[in-house]
């Protein structure tokens, strides 16, 4: 039986049209930094398609495909889904879309993700939006929105902060060294944050 990577390769490579030139913007920030809200605004104002790696994995599992079953089994066994699998799902979503401008939210989560994305797709992001927010503010927001979400308790929140700092900050530093990172003060009110975001997209 093939691996999950083989299954995705077969599925993706067998169904993609010819390569198209796409524009990608990575959107990074800790849990509660307001990424999702700002992605919605960017989609509305600038015509991007919003892709979430987590959503694509969940959709693949829900689809009941062989590939989805393998992903689900890996998650159940506590294994990390290989970067290449997530990248192939993102690649397929971009190829199947009529759009050529994409916001990729919450990915790459670490340096391995970043390298896999560039190696598999051949795409380097136009730029990276980093929603920078203090841990205290993110904690306040996450606890404030707690509507029965199991991942919004204080211990889990702090673990997620630590994972973000350890894994994602090296990605930000990589792109910062290439002058591709726009740091946004995400502690401000939503409207003020979006003013900053708008200026970046209008001048990029």
Q: Provide the CATH number for the domain around residue 105.
A: 3.40.50.300
- Tens-of-pLDDT digits for all 204 residues of the chain? 455 455 445 444 433 444 568 999 999 988 888 998 999 999 999 999 999 988 999 999 999 999 899 999 988 887 878 999 999 999 999 999 999 999 999 899 899 999 999 999 999 999 999 999 888 888 888 887 655 555 557 777 778 787 777 888 899 999 999 999 999 999 999 999 999 999 999 997
Residue 8 lies in a domain: no
What is d(CA 50, CA 27) in angstroms, rounded to the nearest whole number? 10
What is d(CA 184, CA 39) in angstroms, rounded to the nearest whole number? 13
Check: CB of residue 32 under 8 Å from CB of residue 134. Answer: no
What is d(CA 162, CA 109) in angstroms, rounded to the nearest whole number? 12
- Tokens 């079953």 belong to which residue? 69
Report which DSSP code applies to 142. H
Residue 107 lies in a domain: yes
pLDDT, position 184: 95
- What residues form the annotated binding site for a ribonucleoside 5'-phosphate? 58, 79-81, 106-109, 149, 160
Residue 192 lies in a domain: yes
Report residue 86: phi and psi, to 5°.
Answer: -60, -40
Q: Which two tokens stand for residue 148?
A: 């029965």
pLDDT, position 118: 95
Residue 135 lies in a domain: yes
The SS3 call for residue 189 is coil
- What residues form the annotated binding site? 32-37, 58, 79-81, 106-109, 113, 145, 149, 160, 188
pLDDT, position 152: 54
Check: CB of residue 103 under 8 Å from CB of residue 51. Answer: yes
What is d(CA 157, CA 177) in angstroms, rounded to the nearest whole number? 29
- What residues form the annotated binding site for ATP? 32-37, 145, 188
Residue 105 lies in a domain: yes
Residue 147 lies in a domain: yes
pLDDT, position 21: 83
Residue 101 lies in a domain: yes
Residue 6 lies in a domain: no
- What residues form the annotated binding site for CMP? 113
Q: What's the structural domain count of the chain? A: 1
Check: CB of residue 149 under 8 Å from CB of residue 172. Answer: no
Q: Which two tokens stand for residue 145?
A: 């929105």
pTM exceeds 0.85 for this model: no
To 5 degrees, how large is the angle CA 7–CA 12–CA 18?
155
To 5 degrees, how large is the angle CA 160–CA 162–CA 164?
70
pLDDT, position 9: 52
Domain extent for 105: 24-50+83-199
């Amino acid at each position: 039986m093939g691996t999950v990577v083989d299954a995705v390769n077969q599925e993706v490579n067998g169904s993609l049209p010819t390569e198209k030139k796409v524009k990608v913007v990575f959107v990074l920030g800790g849990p509660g930094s307001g990424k999702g809200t700002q992605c919605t605004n960017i989609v509305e104002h600038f015509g991007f398609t919003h892709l979430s790696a987590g959503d694509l994995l969940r959709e693949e599992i829900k689809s009941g495909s062989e590939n989805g079953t393998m992903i689900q089994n890996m998650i159940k066994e506590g294994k990390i889904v290989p970067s290449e699998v997530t990248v192939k799902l993102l690649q397929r979503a971009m190829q199947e879309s009529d759009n050529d401008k994409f916001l990729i939210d919450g990915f790459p989560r670490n340096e391995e993700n970043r390298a896999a994305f560039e190696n598999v797709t051949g795409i380097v992001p136009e730029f990276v939006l980093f929603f920078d927010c203090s841990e205290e503010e993110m904690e306040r927001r996450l606890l404030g929105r707690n509507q029965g979400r199991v991942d919004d308790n204080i211990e889990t929140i702090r673990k997620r902060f630590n994972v973000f700092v350890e894994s994602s900050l090296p990605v930000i530093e990589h792109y910062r060294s290439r002058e591709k990172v726009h740091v946004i003060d995400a502690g401000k009110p939503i409207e003020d944050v979006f003013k900053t975001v708008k200026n970046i997209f209008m001048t990029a």
